[in-house]
Structure 1
Amino acid sequence: MTRVVIFSGGSLGPWALRLIQPGDLLVGADKGALFLLRHGRRPDVALGDFDSVNAEEKAYIAENSGRFISCDPVMKDLTDTEMAFNWALEKQPDEIVLCGALGTRWDHALANVHLLRKGLEAGLRCRIIDAYNEIAVMDQHLPLTLQRSRFSHVSLLPLSLDVEGIELQGFQYPLHNAKLTIGQSLGISNCLAEPEGTIAITAGMLLVIQSSDQAAE
């Protein structure tokens, strides 16, 4: 199984390093590359405009990364994370994991959540993970199976206008042939009642957000 793990410049910590598995391709987007290097991990590729690091740090990243791709910070159309995501898509991995994709900038955070839709349309499993959350997008072609973990809550939110035929098994609040429309909170704060839970739908795109009130260390 081939995975690409992207480290962006949002909220990162030791928990993110523990997500790395042998054989993963590591991508550092802007300051995310510096995070990897400072924690003893060499990015296979570092890319972005590097406007979040100083000249000395940029040179350090360029010298110590497998490949270095720099662009102008003004004359560009994509965020650093989307550049990294597009690079990952070209590698046709089995999965893409984004770390540091959430933080104080909600415009960037929401744009990164939308990248999950791009991955889904390419037929790939993609996740955003931070200290409190794990976010995925699913449709009728890619149902999800969740294992009981440190995430105590599971919330479902439509990413399309409507999501139809929702089936939940193994949850405290099961659903059968349910429908969610943007603006409804019916899918918030469910939890697993069994060691494993499955989610399936018949139409639409569904955000599945696992979360915990306690941050990972």
Structure 2
Amino acid sequence: MNINIVAGGPEHLIPDLSRYREKDAFWIGVDRGAVTLLDRGIIPDEAFGDFDSITPEQKQAIEEAAPRLHIYQAEKDKTDLDLALSWAVKQEPAFIRMFGISGGRADHFLGNLQLLHQAAESRINAVMIDRQNTISLFPPGSYTVTRDQTKPYISFLPFTETVKNLSLEGFKYSLNKCHIALGSTLCISNELIRSQGAFSFTEGILIMIRSTD
């Protein structure tokens, strides 16, 4: 099962969701994101939120369409997306995609980026997707990456204080067991020179961002 989570970020940054409507896809709407799903002809399997950013009519439409709702008070210790992602991780899906969580308020975006760590800790593949970028977090290990002409630029940033022994193969700018400290821009805006490349590291958490201009 793949879980697709749609939150309430700027709708113009949310890509065409129809390409992610696989047979086993499971959809979660988070607050206004549930409205976005309904507007795009997708009925959320679960909906999470305090729903304080939508109209009573929109809330009623969600209540009538979604099989299961998780409604919370506006004053709480976790964001709606945090609650939805925690639930999704417990389902142990093959993959989690998150939309509508970039753009808009910077504090929301940075908080959402840190939520990816939940999935990384559980060894679940998770990615943030908007029209221009995909963002993923990786624990230590070896990984392959395939060329995507729509997002040719690949950047790596440390999520932790240090990422150790980072190696890049098949990239325009290769690395061999290099330590990357928090704040480094060494691995910004790289590109694959073959149809497939590889990266590996032994310690830390690594952010990978794939982008287009």
Shorter-chain TM range is: over 0.9
Q: How many residues matched?
A: 210
| d(CA) in 2 for partners of 1:156, 1:163 | 10
- 8 Å Cα contact 1:120/1:138 also seen in 2: yes
TM-score computed with the length of structure 2 as normaliser = 0.95
SS in 2 for 1:177: strand
Structure number having the greater strand percentage? 2
Deviation per residue, 1:106-146 (Å, 9 max, x gap): 111111111111111111111101011000111214x3321
**101-110 or 16-25, which deviates more:** 16-25
Structure 2, unpaired ranges of 5+: none
- 1:135 corresponds in structure 2 to 135
Matches within 5 A, 1:5-20: 5-12=4-11, 13-20=14-21
Structure 1 length-normalised TM: 0.93
Residues 1:147 and 2:163 aligned together: no
Contact 1:16 1:99 in 2 (8 A): no
Instruction: Report how far residue 155 of structure 1 moved.
Output: 0.5
Instruction: Give the structure 2 partner of residue 55 of structure 1.
Output: 56
Return the offset for 1:20. 2.9
Matching of residues 1-217 of structure 1 within 5 Å: 2-12=1-11, 13-74=14-75, 76-141=76-141, 143-149=142-148, 150-213=150-213
Between the two proteins, what is the percent identity of the paired residues? 34
Report the AA paired with residue 186 of structure 2: L
Which piece of structure 1 moves more, 4-13 or 131-140? Answer: 4-13
Tell me the CA shift for residue 11 of structure 1: 3.0
CA contact (8 A) 1:5 1:20 kept: no
After superposition, what is the alpha-carbon deviation per residue over 1:160-200, rounded to whole angstroms, capped at 9, x for unaligned?
00001111111000100111101111010001111111111
Structure 1 residue 14 displacement after superposition? 4.5
Letter in 2 for 1:129: I
Measure how far apart 1:16 and its partner are. Answer: 3.2
Q: CA deviation at 1:32?
A: 0.6
Secondary structure of 2:21's counterpart equals: coil
Return the offset for 1:17.
Answer: 3.5
